[in-house]
Chains A and B, each alone.
Chain A
Amino acid sequence: MGLDFLSSILFATVVAGTPLIIVAVGELVTEKAGVLNLGAEGIMSVGAVAAFAVAHHTHNPLLGILAGMAAGMAMSLLFGISALTLMANQVASGLALSIFGVGFSAFVGKPYESVALASVPLVPIPLLHKIPVLGPALFHQQGLVYFSWALLGAVAWFLYRSKAGLILRAVGESPVSAHSIGYGVVRIRYQAVLFGGAMAGIGGAFMSVFYTPMWVEGMVAGRGWIALSLVVFATWRPLRVMIGAYLFGGCMIMQMFVQGSGARVTIPAQFLSALPYVATILVLVLISRNRGTIRLNSPASLGQTFLPDA
């Protein structure tokens, strides 16, 4: 009984952390190219509603994910045009995108508010899912959970082992130097922004199609913002993003459990709801205090508009 309970807590933690991983890793790539896209919350919202609508009409969750991804890319393209081509301020463009996305998704999603979606079956991994406790928690999961792990590995490999990743980091470090040795800074930044948008869209799709299978206005509930801060407090390192995401997921599940257990709790419910956000940021702040690692990992040109010297 106790072990089953532990296993189900672990299961729920992983599920709760997954959209954060996907969105934060996308944002990490964007930021490594020197672009600060604060629009994650809005992109997730639009991705969520697009995915829900498509999954509802086609009865195919996979098409839903693709729709979420496409919507996310469309949203980030808007950001790219504004911040990269028109060279508007990145912070302002991102904030505008967030506000727009949250509102727009609520507007588009109105007809879907009372619609339920069939829940998507879990995917067991042969053999591994039979491991006691860990098996059911980690290896009998949503398909996108495995995707998030693969994504982490692929992005870490891309950034630190491949030449394209080196170029991306170089662009984020010093766009002027990258330009002077002949790299298309704006083009590379567009690619990074689109990738970040696609991931944020998938993260949103996970929320509406897999996590809760339904659409409610404001259902993203600040996860876009948490993903953004995860990237910063994880000092732009993929593995730390994962730790932070699961930490958040774990706190989320714990507080839901405490609230739902009916135990006589004297702490106000609002405080409990805020706990995951506070705890995640606190822990990440503590582990990211080293100035050296920040200097080495933070993209030096983050948030700065690149103006070619011509």
Chain B
Amino acid sequence: MPNQTAETPRLAIKGIRKVYPSVVANDGIDLTVMPGEIHAVLGENGAGKSTLMKVIYGVIRPDEGEIIWEGQAVTVPNPAQARALGIGMVFQHFSLFETLTVVQNVALALPGDFDLPALAKRIEEVSERYGLPVDPRRLVHALSVGERQRVEIIRCLLQNPRLLILDEPTSVLTPQAVRKLFETLRKLASEGVSILYISHKLDEIQELCHRATVLRGGRVTGTCNPAQETPKTMARMMIGEDLPACSHGEPGAEGELRLELRGLDHPTDDPFGTQLRNICLQVRSGEIVGIAGVSGNGQQELLRAISGEEVVRDHQTVRMCGQDVGHLNPARRRALGMCFVPEERLGRGAVPRLTLTENALLTAHRKGMLSGGLIRFKVAQRFAEDCIARFDVKCGGAASEAKSLSGGNLQKFIVGREIMQDPKLLVLAQPTWGVDVGAASFIRHSLLELRNSGTAILVISEELEELFEICDRMVVIAKGTLSPSTATSETDVEEIGMWMSGMWPGAAEQDGAPHVA
């Protein structure tokens, strides 16, 4: 910025207001970002962070308020204009095209020549430099959530933005990769790039950000210097009350075997999928076992094999509650007492266009909702209402459509729906992905309670803190194989991080004897 002093803010917004038919999403929001500043925007789901970012990025237009870019009042009528100004955004709900390849997706967002091979090379360079490994030739629909996020980040970085907006960017990275990303962001900031960093991970914000603006209910409730705060004080600004403490409690006596994988091998139809090799795992009642790993290492395939969405050839390699189930479909596995919370909420965990009552019916129909082949809507509705009340789901009632709920609230509903079926075995993937701190801590708390009541719980997550918080034992998945298990109390983030790159003791001779889980 040769013509500008450091005092001119890169971006200043004043009095932004955006009203939707049912809610005031932003109410007089002010925010200033200086050149080279990493500025955190904190807030619970529904606090108005996403709306505000969309206003800045030109996806939606504010009803009132001013946007001042490098000292000039501007209107940002569309994202193309935002990009022309030098604003880049990594979305939380990805804006990728599933049937296109990574390089095509990136090409769509970049102006200039349409030279895919050259672009693929640039993608490889950037992904190498910033530790965001991804193959440019792969189709996006075959990528995991974590890999898709890498594509989004790379796509943004290739546009050389002067303001980079990141919405929950670290959720799916290994601790090592987070450190690498932070290095990248600090480097970008030192080069004068401003960064708006939306996150609910308070420790990260403390480590990374220079300043934080806290939103609650569409209003700014304060700005602070994260270095001078504690996660506790910031959480209080954000949710207006203290977080419930999460007590872990001692694991009970060794429980009954509920899930057993005995040398599970599973090839994949997907040319880009991961083949599962010799997976051995035991989950007993009264314990929470966590599977850590960088996304795309076989988590999706493993989940499908456990949930029954894919049957396995050798049906003795998957056992539940003392039965071979490898050949059974999800409904029959659920009948044995398995419940399952998938990674994608809309479309797999819940049907977007159905009401919460109807969504409850989809998996909880064994709770007396059927009678002679007919639906007892009263029972289903009562179940949904119970679930809403018990799990504090903020919504317009049991008759609201699933897609009208915010991510965190829908997740609370889905997890609640499964917990209320008193499962013998509960399998969850990314239970708190994109969920705000309050709801995440609530979900974890509910899982611990469920464990104490004797359920066997398997959690597949890419968020290590979460696994360390709730799991009794942990294993790591890398390249389709599973590490031996370790008690959470006997390991640490460093060791698990190492394992996540496939380097666990005995990893080299893993082809021989199965690991004893």
Interface, chain A (partner B; CB < 8 A): 162-163, 166-167, 169-170, 173-174, 176-183, 292, 295-297, 300, 309-310
Contacts and interface: CB of A to CB of B under 8 A. Distances in A.
Nearest to A291: B269
A167 B108 CA distance: 7
A180 B95 contact: yes
Contacts of A292: 269
B108 A310 contact: no
A162 B113 CA distance: 11
Contact of B107 (A166, A179, A296): A166
5 contacts: A178-B108, A179-B59, A181-B109, A182-B58, A309-B60
B445 interface: no
Given A180-B79, A296-B139, A309-B59, A166 B100 contact: yes
B377 interface: no
Give the interface residue-count category, chain B: 20 to 34
Contact of A300 (B78, B79, B91, B98): B98
B59 A180 contact: yes
Contact of B79 (A167, A173, A182, A296): A182
A137 B4 CA distance: 72
Contact of B97 (A163, A177, A179): A177
Q: Which 6 pairs show the lowest CB-CB distances between chains A and B?
A: A182-B80, A177-B95, A163-B114, A182-B79, A180-B95, A173-B97
Interface in B104-148: 104, 107-109, 114, 139, 141
Which of A162, A177, A292 gathers most chain B CB within 10 Å? A177
B283 interface: no
Contacts of B94: 177
Contact of A309 (B54, B81, B100, B141): B54
Nearest to A299: B99
A173 B98 contact: yes
Contacts of A181: 79-80, 95, 108-109
A56 to B, nearest CB: 45
A308 B179 CA distance: 37
A310 B61 contact: yes
Contacts, number: 66
Given A169-B99, A182-B109, A183-B80, 20 more contacts: A163-B107, A166-B100, A167-B108, A169-B97, A170-B97, A170-B100, A170-B108, A174-B96, A174-B97, A177-B94, A177-B95, A180-B91, A181-B108, A181-B109, A182-B58, A182-B80, A182-B81, A182-B82, A296-B139, A310-B61
Contacts of B107: 163, 166
B83 interface: yes
A179 B79 CA distance: 8
A139 B100 CA distance: 37
A159 to B, nearest CB: 12
Interface in B424-468: none
A253 B108 CA distance: 45
B266 to A, nearest CB: 18
Contacts of A296: 99, 139
Contacts of B54: 309
Contacts of A163: 107, 114
A292 B268 CA distance: 13
Contacts of B58: 182
Contacts of A162: 114
A295 B99 contact: yes
B353 to A, nearest CB: 12
Contacts of B100: 166, 169-170, 173
A296 B141 CA distance: 9
A10 B57 CA distance: 57
Interface in B61-102: 61, 78-83, 91, 94-100
B76 to A, nearest CB: 11
B302 to A, nearest CB: 21
Contacts of B108: 166-167, 170, 178, 181, 183
Contact of B141 (A166, A170, A295): A295
A173 B99 contact: yes
B60 A310 contact: yes
Nearest to B81: A182
Contacts of B83: 182
A180 B60 CA distance: 9
A176 B60 contact: no
A172 to B, nearest CB: 9
Interface in B12-35: none
Contacts of B60: 309-310
A177 B96 contact: yes
A170 B109 CA distance: 11
A310 B107 CA distance: 26
A15 to B, nearest CB: 35
Contacts of B104: 166
A300 B59 contact: no
A295 B104 CA distance: 17
Contacts of A176: 95
Nearest to A182: B80
A300 B97 CA distance: 10
Which of B59, B107, B108 gathers most chain A CB within 10 Å? B108
A167 B110 CA distance: 11
Nearest to B82: A182
B139 to A, nearest CB: 7
Contacts of B114: 162-163, 166
A178 B98 CA distance: 12
Contacts of B109: 181-182
A300 B269 CA distance: 22
A179 B54 CA distance: 12
B154 to A, nearest CB: 14
Contacts of B61: 310
Contacts of A173: 97-100
